[in-house]
Each structure stands twice: as structure tokens, then as C-alpha cells.
Amino acid sequence: MMNRIFTWAARRILGRADHLALSSEMEELYQYRLARDGKHAADRWLRRERRRAVGHLAGIRAADLPDPEPPQPLTTTPTLRLRETMYNMIRELRSSLRGLARTPIFALTIIATLAIGIGGATAVFSVINAVLLEPLPYPESSELVRISNHARGQDWVFSVADYLALEEQQTRFEGVAAMAWNRATYASGEATERMLVHSATPSFFSLLDLRPEYGRTFTAEEGEPGAPSSALVSWGFWNREMDGDPAALGRTIRLDGQDVTVIGVLPRRAGPLLADAEVVTALQLAPPARKGPFFLVALGRLGEGVAPASAAAELRTINERIFPLWQDSWPDQETTWAMTGLKEYVVGDVGATLLIVLGAATFVLLMVCVNSASLLLARLMDRRRELAVRTALGATRGQLMRHLLTESALLSIVGAGAGLLVTVSGIRLVTAFGADFIPRTNEVGLTGPVLLFFAVAATASLVLFGLFPSLRGTGAGVARDLRESGHGAGTVRSASRTRGLLVAGQFAVSVPLIVGGGLLLASLTKLANVDPGFDADRVLTMNVAVPNDRYPSAGELSEFWRSLLTEVRSLPGVEEAGVGTGRPPSEYPFTNNFVLEDQPLAPGETQPTVPWVVASPEYFHALGSPLVAGRMFDRTLDDPDPDFIVLVDRAWATRFYDSPEGALGRRFRAGGCTGDDCAWFRVVGVMENVKYSGLNGTSQGVVYMNADQAPNRNSFLVVRAAPDQDPLGFIPMVRNLIRQAEVEAAISRVASGDDLLRADLRVPRYLAILVGSFGAISLLLAVVGIYGIMAYYVRQHRRDIGIRLALGGEPGNVIGLVLKNGLGLVAWGVTAGLVGAVILTRFMDTLLFGVEPTDPYVLGASLGTMALVAIAACWGPARRAARVPPREVLAEE
Amino acid sequence: MSRDTLGEFEHMVLLAILRLGGEAYSVPIVLELEERTGREVAQAAVFIAMKRLEKKELLTSRMDDHAVKETGRVRRYFQLTEAGREKLRETREALVSLWDGISTQLDRA
């Protein structure tokens, strides 16, 4: 240290040549003394000599010295000046590097935290940018809207009746289009697979201005009912299944047992509406007999200069106009038509979540800066004598700033570089794993705005953590530090106060993160403990779809399923096998509306709607869902019955008849059918509740129809393995049986019961982990901060503490004093943070399950954890304070 | 002739140079001073004093290019100027006249 100051001072005061001469001559004398007095004495002399030299150098005035040697006859060309500047910069850089290399832990801590802070925030921003900020990848996308049915705060899709009326009567839109999201079975000759096959009206492509990569889009004729089927295939499908051959246009592929002509190839990036679609077929809409079913996503492009309000008004008018036409099958007068921006529809409610995560990431970045600033400030206080000497030797404030800023710039540049790596891996993670619950993830990347955000974040952190301590470290107080021997000098006191504020701020920032993470964790635990209504152990499920052209009659189809189930059941180690169109905890094929025979509705009243599942009798046994009341399906009794025989679940029974027994024998009509020739559905049994709308969903009741009576081409096979058997072990055997029974059957979405439960918890788990780790990081940073400041406090007050102890003060009291000091800071921060937490967590309401944002246990546990951690962090310095040896401290003076 | 008087340390440094033949660099000067006075002398102080004396034109200096080439060592040699020698003479006369007749008193006391 002294050596560095000496070098610096000598060069500055004496000039380069004399600095060299003096150093060299000192070295010469050192060698002489080494030979004469031995190493120990010579080393001591050298240290003394350097210290004295600094004093002498500081004591002289420039006026006392001859003018430095006439500078070499330099012609100061810009190149030379540049070289001079470069030389100075490199010298500063090297000196900073040396300084940092001496304190590697300090440097690495700052670099690592900066990388996490900057990289994390940028990665989150890259997602927000792609999902929320970037317009949809369609030209003039702000004019695009999604049109839906709307009632009681909920939006739902259009029916064919709705869409045809809209298409015919609207005047405010440049165009409208509809699409339906479906799965279909694709048979290639070698294999059969189930894939996403959407269908769209011919107007869909012109509305979005989506041009095919090859070929063409649908003509109006191809959208007419009865026209030959045609399709566009995705870029991926075309490359995989058709070898990327443009000549493949015009060929046919087999979808659901039908020949479909390929007329075009979608572009590689087809936009979020078709993101996962493999094939898009022409949607052919025939005039319907009744209002339902509802399955069409309707889109519109607002006409030139049309105010959204007037378009919305027209939508309501059309809906009122057609209401009387369909009143029989849809008597709900509350339902109206509404429109939302297409982007809001695509993004959905993920926006709020993303903003919360961005908030968390920004908080962490802020804390990282604060912490780095605090660390730098602490180091600065250790170096204040060096800085004071430099000031005394005539270094201007600007030069000191340059010196300190070089150091922080170096740290933040390396930190930001590492942050870029964190960003890239973050983006990889999101695009790999986030696609299931974040829309538009394939648009996430290191785009211009993201790099801009990165640059701003990096610069802002440099300013925050570099400039601030530099200003602090070079202020007027520095000169005083040289004269006073260090105790309680002005700079130290005010710098300590600043650090105290920073540390309190850190605790303030980490409270909302910890509380938020705690709430999400509590809600995850609640979710994981929800009874899914089925016994997930030993269960294997898979989707099996039979092509449309096989088993034309219901009898043949149910015979197919029955024989398949018999085969599967006969496998050794299989306990039971059944089929059903739903799969707990979050899949059901559709909902249906109905009117109870004994609870008729007044005109205009809304019919209740519940999930509708078609299942074989063994399905319930295979899932482990028991019968609560009444009886199971029984074809000998059911087939001759004029009514459709159904089962309901406990939730349905208690919703309408207060008890399971009360529901037995009740009848209803379904699907908006109200005429006298409509079929009755009769309840003969009540099953225990099974979750179909997610573990966090509340059951409104479920209706089960008998798969033997109303078989479905597309069902889930549910297999229960015998005890001690691994359900996943049956996959190859079951696959073989299905293939033998029907070679064209498509098998997909194979999962064990545990897989299903895990999948349903994935989003809440990701969120809890994400916010929780932000919270943990922030707490860690805050702890490092409080530890640092208390350790410094003890070092600063060593003398006072020593005196106190010498005068008979109890070590316990000293510990108490230090703890009080540290925890006082923490208390201020936490109080401020609590206010923030109460405000912020209110926005998390929709993400929570079974936990209130102000849950006292979570709040208590979060604060308790923080208090414990803070006490632990202050304990070390406090103990050290109590062990200060009074005699030594006093002798030091 | 300059109006300035020599400081004690400057005086000692100039005398040491003179003892060393009128031209010297800091190392032999320090050793000379230490040997003669029995006190440790700060090398930087000697160096700085000589720079100051150079400013007062009592010394001139040169870098020893030969030593740089031969040994890699950098030395600055200082040489007494005529003004320097004159200053020493002046100082000696002033001191001698002050001491005149009082040395016996000092020894007795």
C-alpha cells in the first residue's frame, strides 16, 4: 500500500525521470544495507524510508523544485495525445486490476451479484417484451380484435350460428374470420399420430395478412359445406412429413381417415394463433339447427377510421337482433357480444404474472446495486487514508473520481458481461420450458429492445453503484481524514449513515419478495394437498383416437372399446382398465347446459353448465373413485330404458338436491333442447367428486354418460396396476394391444397419475420457485449488507467499546448495544417493506389458492425468518465487540 | 549572491558533496552523512533537498547515462556550482565569525 502511494506521489511531485532515479537509488541503498545489516533490518528500513519519503514529498511545494525536465520535443498531434490518454487509461486499469486482484472475494461478490441482477432482469424483460410489448406479428395488428360471447364477466367462444350472423350482418369491420382448435389423427402409412389440426375460414388468412410460404390459401369455394377438404401444413410438418418438397403441393394426406389435399405451406413463424398447429384445414360452416355448440374463435379487423365503441355497439345490436331466432335453444338474455384486442386475448392473464416477476427482478437488481455500492463504500472507508494522501499530494477530485470510477466501471463491465450470459441462459430456459404457460415464447429472443434494456440496466447499475460511492469518497471530508487520525471523522460518519440507509432499504425491498414467495409457496402446498378425487398411485393413462372411417355404428365402436378393455385387463399385473373422455385433474372434453325437470327456468334465465364426461363403468374403479349413492351403469337395465342413464358427482347432487341420495331418479334435458321430443337424462348413481378443472378449480358438478351407450372415438384409456407394479411398465404391452386391435389408432399423451398431478402443479411451482428465489437472493444480499455494516460499526467503535469494558461494562450489554443498533436498522427497513408488501401482494390475488394475501401465518413466518436471519447476521459482530480486549485497545492509542 | 541562507540540512548535504569530490548521488551522500552524524538520514529528504538546491542554482545535476547502460541503474548526479561553493564559503565565514572566541565558554559550561 505504502509502496503504491510512494510511487504515485514520487511520480507526481518529482516527475517521471526523478521518480525513476530516486527509486533506483533507494534500491541501490537497500542492496547495500542488505549486505551490511541483513534482510530484516534492510526491509524495515525500506518500509520506514518509503513512509518518510511520502511525508517529505507531501511537505514540499512545487515552487521549491526546479521545473521538471523540459518535456521531450513532442509535437502534440492528435495521435500522440490519444496515445497519451490510452497510456493513462491503461495505467489506471492496471492499477485497478491489481487492487481488485488483492481482494478477489470482494470483486467476485460484486461481479456475481451484478450478473444475477442485470441478467435476471433482462431475461424477464425479454419475455415481457415479446409477450406484452411487441405487437402481434401480423401487419397493422392493433386493428385486430377477438369477438366473443360475454355474460357475467366471462367471455366465451362463438357458435356457428353466431359467426354466420356476424359475417352476414356486420358493417364496421373490414373483415371477420373464424377458427377452431382441434386435434386429429394423422396416418402416414408408417405411423399414426394425434396432432393439433386447426381449421379456419378462407377469410382468416387475408384478415391477418398471413401469406403462405408456398402454394396458396383457401378459396371461398373451399369454405363451402361439402367442398373437397383442403389444408395448409405447417413449416415443420412440411419438412418432416413431406421432405420439404415444394412439389408435394397437391398431394393428399390422411386426417381422421379422410383424404385432405395440401394446397399450401405456412411460413416458419405463423404467429401465435397457429403457433403449434401442424395442419390447418378449411373450416366449412353449414347453417345450424340450434344456437350451440360453441367452439369458434371469431376475429375481426376494424374498418378504416371506425371507432372501437361503434363497432362494439354494432356487435350488441346484431346479437339482440338474432336473439329471438335462437331463443328456444339459448334463452339466456344476459349474453351479449363483446370484443377485446387480439393481443390481450392471446396474452391472456399471464400479463399480470409477468409484471410481478419483472417487479421482483427489478427489485433484486436495485438491491444488487445497493449492495455493491455498500461494499464499495466500505472498501472506500478502508482506503480513505490512501485517498487522503493522494488529495494532500494534490490529486484533484476529478482524478480521484477517475481512479474510483475506473474500478467500478471494470467491475460493472465484467458483471454485465456475465449478466449477458445469465440472460441468454434465461431465455433458453423460457423458450424450452415456458411454452406451456406463456404465450408467444417462440418470439422471445435477444432483440433490439432487449439489448437496449440490458444496456440501460447495466449503465444504471454502474451509475448507482459506482458514481455514488465515488462522490462520497472524494468529498471535502477526505482532506480532514489526513489530519484527524481517523476516529469519527466526518466522511466516516456520514458514509456510515448512508450505508445504514442502504441496508435498511435492502430489507425494505426484500420484504415484499419474501412475503410474495411465502404466499406462493403456501398456496402451492395447499394445492399439492388438494384431494384430486382419484388415487394417482399405480394409474396409467393415455389418449387413444380411432379414425372416423372405422366402426361407423355406435355398436361397432363400443364393441371395439369393450374388447380392447378385456384384453388390457387380462394382462398380468393389471387390476382394472376403463375408458373415459375426461382425465383428471384438468381435462374434460366439453361442458353442456341443461334444465332440471323439477326446477324449470323462467324465460331468459341462464341454464346451469357443467363438464360432461363419457365413461365406461370400469373407468371409476380404475381411477379409484367410489360410488356414493345409487347404482353403477348396467346395460341390462340401461339399454331398454327410454331415458339416457347418467351418473353425477357429489358436487352436482348437493348443488341441486342438497344430498347425494336426493339426486337419484331426477331427470333433465340437455344441450338447449327444450321440445317435447327431446330426450330425458336420468340420474341413477352419484360418484365421489373428481377434479376435472384443475386442482385449484372448484367443482360445479359433473355429468357422466355411459361409454357403452354413447361411445366416443377419442377417449382416455385408464389402467390401474396391481399393488407393487409400476404403472409405466405397462406402456409397451398396452401399446401393442391397441395396435393389434386397431392398426390406425393414434396413441398420445401417455402419463401416469403422478405425472398428471405434477403437470397441474407446474405453473404454481415455477412461480413459487421464481419469486421465492428472488426473495432468497434479496434476503441474502440484505444479510450480507447488515453483516458488513455491523462489522464495520464494531471496528469503528473498538475504542469506545474497549473503554466501556475497561470501566466495568458487561459484555452482555455490549452485545445488546450492537444488536440494538443493527436490528434498529432492520426494523425500519422491514416496516417500510411491510407497507410495500401489503400493496403489492394484493395484485397476486388471482395467483393464490386457499391463501389470503394478508395470511397472518405467511406474514408472521416471513417476518420471523427475516428477524432470525438478521439477528444471526448481527450476532457475529456483536460477539466480536464483547471480546474486545480493553487493555490492548487503550494501549493502541 | 543570493539573499537566502542555507538550512542546516542543506548545509550538511552540500558539505557531504564537497567531501565526496564535488559531485555525488544520493547513496554515498546518505552513507557519508550517517557515518559523520551517527543518525539515520532519509534518502528522499536528501534527494528532495538537492532538487531544491538545484532550483537555487547551488547545484547542477545530470542523469548518469553510463550507469543506465552498464548496470541498469538510474542515478542523478549533483555537482556543486560556483555559486554553491561561494555559498559554503560565505556560510563558513559567518559561522566562524560567530564562533570566534566563544568555544572555550561553551566547553566550560
Instruction: For B43-64, write each residue's pLDDT tens digit.
Output: 988 998 998 899 888 999 988 7
Whether A74 shows a pLDDT value over 60: the answer reads no
By DSSP bridging, strand B23-24 and strand B76-80 are: antiparallel
Q: Pick from A6, A19, A26, A28 the residue to mutate for testing the B interface (most B CBs within 10 Å).
A: A28
Instruction: For A792-825, write each residue's pLDDT tens digit.
Output: 788 778 888 888 888 888 888 888 888 998 899 8
Measured in angstroms, the CA of A87 and the nearest CA of chain B are apart by 23
| H or E stretch at B67 | helix B65-71
Instruction: For A402-434, write each residue's pLDDT tens digit.
Output: 777 788 888 888 999 999 998 998 888 878 777
**CA atoms of A315 and A292, how far apart (whole Å):** 18
Measured in angstroms, the CA of B93 and the nearest CA of chain A are apart by 26
Report helix, strand and coil shares of chain A as percent, to nearest 5.
55, 15, 25
* Lowest mean per-residue pLDDT among A33-42, A57-66, A359-368, A750-759: A57-66
| H or E stretch at A118 | helix A104-128
| Res A495: pLDDT | 63
Measured in angstroms, the CA of A70 and the nearest CA of chain B are apart by 13
Assigned C-alpha cell, A18: 526523478
Measured in angstroms, the CA of B101 and the nearest CA of chain A are apart by 37
Q: Is A556 buried (19+), middle (13-18) or exposed (0-12) by CB count in 10 A?
A: exposed
Contact (CB<8Å) A25/B74: yes
Rg of chain A taking only CA atoms, in angstroms: 38
| Res A108: pLDDT | 83
Contacts of B34 in chain A (CB under 8 A): none
Angle of helix A762-796 versus helix A798-806 axis, rounded to 10: 60
Could you give the angle at the alpha carbon of A421 between the alpha carbons of A419 and A423, nearest 5°? 70
**CA atoms of A487 and A500, how far apart (whole Å):** 18
Considering only alpha carbons, which residue of chain A is nearest residue B47? Answer: A22
Instruction: For A630-651, write each residue's pLDDT tens digit.
Output: 999 998 888 888 889 999 999 9
Considering only alpha carbons, which residue of chain B is nearest residue A16? Answer: B74
Angle of helix A762-796 versus helix A856-882 axis, rounded to 10: 30
Which of B42, B63, B74 has its CB closest to that of A56? B42
Cα A737 from chain centre: 41
Measured in angstroms, the CA of A48 and the nearest CA of chain B are apart by 9
Whether A382 shows a pLDDT value over 80: the answer reads no
Contact (CB<8Å) A22/B55: no
Contacts of B47 in chain A (CB under 8 A): 18, 21-22, 25
Backbone angles phi, psi at A340, to 5 degrees: -130, 160
Measured in angstroms, the CA of B52 and the nearest CA of chain A are apart by 5
pTM: 0.66
Q: Which amino acid is at B16?
A: A
Could you give the angle at the alpha carbon of A206 between the alpha carbons of A201 and A207, nearest 5°? 80
By DSSP bridging, strand A230-233 and strand A252-255 are: unpaired
| Res A854: pLDDT | 86
Residue pairs between chains A and B whose CB atoms are closer than 8 Å: 72
Q: What's the whole-number mean pLDDT along residues A573-589?
A: 93
Report whether A737 contacts A542 (CB < 8 A): no
Q: What's the whole-number mean pLDDT along residues B81-103?
A: 87
Q: What is the DSSP letter of B81?
A: -
Instruction: For A185-233, write each residue's pLDDT tens digit.
Output: 888 877 788 888 999 999 999 999 999 999 999 999 998 998 899 999 9
Contact (CB<8Å) B47/A32: no
Whether B98 shows a pLDDT value over 90: the answer reads no
Which of B25, B44, B55 has its CB closest to that of A65? B55
**CA atoms of A646 and A610, how far apart (whole Å):** 13
Which of B27, B44, B76 has its CB closest to that of A56? B44
Q: In 3D, which of B7, B5, B25, B8 has the Cα closest to residue B17?
A: B25
Considering only alpha carbons, which residue of chain B is nearest residue A67? Answer: B55
Contact (CB<8Å) B43/A66: no
Assigned C-alpha cell, A681: 337424462
Whether A687 shows a pLDDT value over 90: the answer reads yes
Its ipTM equals 0.90
Which of A18, A25, A52 has its CB closest to that of B42? A52
Q: What is the largest CA-CA distance in chain B?
A: 56
* Lowest mean per-residue pLDDT among A21-30, A83-92, A596-605: A83-92
Measured in angstroms, the CA of B41 and the nearest CA of chain A are apart by 9
Considering only alpha carbons, which residue of chain A is nearest residue B64? Answer: A21
Which of B31, B44, B52 has its CB closest to that of A64? B52
Beta bridge partners of B63: B76
Q: Pick from A24, A27, A45 the residue to mutate for testing the B interface (most B CBs within 10 Å).
A: A24
**Preceding peptide of A552 cis, ω within 30°:** no
**CA atoms of A484 and A384, how far apart (whole Å):** 12
Q: Pick from A11, A13, A22 the residue to mutate for testing the B interface (most B CBs within 10 Å).
A: A22
Number of helices (H) and strands (E) in chain B: give both, helices first: 6, 3
Considering only alpha carbons, which residue of chain A is nearest residue B30? Answer: A29
Contact (CB<8Å) B27/A29: yes
Give the Cβ contact number of residue A129 at 10 Å. Answer: 20
Measured in angstroms, the CA of B4 and the nearest CA of chain A are apart by 13
What is the percentage of chain B residues whose pLDDT exceeds 70?
A: 87
Instruction: For A1-50, write each residue's pLDDT tens digit.
Output: 567 778 878 887 788 888 888 888 888 898 888 888 888 888 888 888 88
Give the Cβ contact number of residue B77 at 10 Å. Answer: 18
Considering only alpha carbons, which residue of chain A is nearest residue B75? Answer: A21
Q: Which residues of B touch A (CB under 8 A)?
A: 25-27, 30-31, 40, 42-45, 47-48, 51-52, 54-55, 63, 73-76
Contact (CB<8Å) A25/B42: no
Helix, coil or strand: residue A498: helix
**CA atoms of A43 and A33, how far apart (whole Å):** 9
Assigned C-alpha cell, A870: 438478521
| Res A70: pLDDT | 46
Q: What's the whole-number mean pLDDT along residues A514-533?
A: 91
Contact (CB<8Å) A28/B30: no
Give me the DSSP letters along A763-804: HHHHHHHHHHHHHHHHHHHHHHHHHHHHHHHHHHTHHHHHHH
Contacts of B43 in chain A (CB under 8 A): 22, 25-26, 29, 49, 53
Backbone angles phi, psi at A493, to 5 degrees: -60, -45
Report whether A632 contacts A685 (CB < 8 A): yes
**CA atoms of A366 and A357, how far apart (whole Å):** 14
Measured in angstroms, the CA of A42 and the nearest CA of chain B are apart by 13
| Res A284: pLDDT | 92
Contacts of A64 in chain B (CB under 8 A): 51-52, 55
**CA atoms of A606 and A157, how far apart (whole Å):** 17
Report whether A701 contacts A648 (CB < 8 A): yes
| Res B109: pLDDT | 53
By DSSP bridging, strand A644-649 and strand A681-687 are: parallel
| Res A487: pLDDT | 43
Whether A734 shows a pLDDT value over 90: the answer reads yes
Whether A493 shows a pLDDT value over 70: the answer reads no
